[in-house]
Structure 1
Amino acid sequence: MSEESKFARADDNPNWKVFKQHGQIDINNFGPLTHLLEVFAIKIINYGVQKTVRVMEELLTERAGKSDS
């Protein structure tokens, strides 16, 4: 299982950021457990995405508050 998250400058607007995430799950020879392992791995990857977005939102909110001062 692997996960990669990346923030990059948007091509069409340099003031914007693009969030890209790629996850890969390779499970072989686990018979009936394969599906359960896939579901578990997907939940872990989704949790990572949600956490990354939440942290970015907090940073942006904090930054916006400092610029208002």
Structure 2
Amino acid sequence: MKKIVNRATASTPKFFKVLRTIGLALVAVGGTVLTAPVALPAVVITIGGYVALAGGILSATSQLTTTDDNK
């Protein structure tokens, strides 16, 4: 558990910071579609769920990526 916390708080490479930002944007778009106050077709709701899931996975994976300075 401590190793995961250390990875999450370590510095993230620039490329993965960009990916994390893109993932957060996807989560926001997916969440907006899922909570829209108007009735949307079922396929749009399904796609919104998948977009939010993909954004969450992308953000979490990018946050846990660190550089290996031991090389």
Q: State the TM bucket, normalised to the shorter chain.
A: 0.3 to 0.5
TM-score (norm. length: structure 2): 0.43
More strand by proportion, 1 or 2?
A: 1
Higher helix share goes to which structure? Answer: 2
- Considering only CA atoms, is the larger Rg found in Structure 1 or Structure 2? 1
TM-score, normalised via structure 1 length: 0.44
* Higher RCO (CA-CA < 8 Å; seq separation 6+): 2
